[in-house]
Amino acid sequence: MTQHFSYESILKASQAANWKIEDILDGKSLDFSRPFLPEALARTNGLAMLSPKERLILNQIRGCGYLYTFGLVEEFILPFVVDHARPALHGDDNRTRALLQFAGEEAKHIHLFKRFYQTFIEGFGTPCGMIGPADQVSAAILAHDPLGIGMVTLHIEWMTQKHYTESVRDDHDMDPLFKSLLSNHWAEEMQHAMLDTMIVEELAAADGPDGVERGFADFMKIATMLDGALMQQVELDLASLEAATGRILSAEDKEAVRRVQQQAIRYTYLGSGLTHPQFLAIMDRIRPGSRAELSGLAPAFS
């Protein structure tokens, strides 16, 4: 169905983009005088009840959570890709190598983000609460239909592309090391977006119309579950902000920050993917009518 993607070309691109964690992190440090996330994702600048320093701290907390969350979701993407590759290990060699490369890079990203989190906490000075644990989140997602998991992964991969090209790449205020992490992550996720497109289309073709409906239903269930987890992360971020600043927000100020950050985090992980033209086109191709249905949901997460 996706004639412009091939396992052979994706494998070559993945090999060209490959990088080492040590080259990115070793001997380098984060600049805590600068923001970590672009404003389009953090949405902290408009929080007038916070001082400039407090807004910067909240931006950095959100940045920490951003990479932590990617590490969290990659905990379920890794076994999903391995499970998809296993049945055809003795088939198309390019397919096998491309999917195993995909899995290996996801494992590398998980390792990178764990190392980043330790580097962040050492420099930030106070711990930041994060949703999890990762193994429980992964198990809950992997209990769903494989096609539904594939659709969620598809959403995440294309969402990552949108974040980098529309918000990160041309932002010159961000901390250079954090931006480097996102740039290198994006370079490999570009191939992952194409590979997962092929995985989802293979699963959809094998499942037939009834299976596609089951998969889509599970996609929606997983998205709802993730939305609940994101709302928990907002509360953890508020607690981290108070701990880092030493300021207990009034009930009114906390509610104002909460409202803005709930929409910001929903847009970051849900709305930005629901508006990605590639994601919508692929979903509409395998399940006609999906574009209109998903586009109708997007404003609630914008």
Residues contacting 51, CB < 8 A, separation 6+: none
Residues in the chain, pLDDT under 70: 1-3
Instruction: For residues 242 and 57, give the distance between their C-alpha atoms in angstroms, rounded to a whole number.
Output: 10
Angle between helices 52-85 and 134-142 (to 10 degrees): 50
What is the pLDDT at residue 90?
Answer: 75
Instruction: Extract the tokens encoding 36.
Output: 């970590």
* Nearest Cα residue to 192 out of 37, 36, 280, 70: 70
pLDDT in tens, 90-116: 778 999 999 999 999 999 999 999 999
What is the pLDDT at residue 1?
Answer: 43
Q: How many CA atoms lie within 13 A of 32 on its CB side?
A: 15
14-18, long-range: CB < 8 A, 24+ apart: 14/98, 14/101, 14/102, 14/105, 14/188, 14/191, 15/101, 17/187, 17/188, 17/190, 17/191, 18/105, 18/188
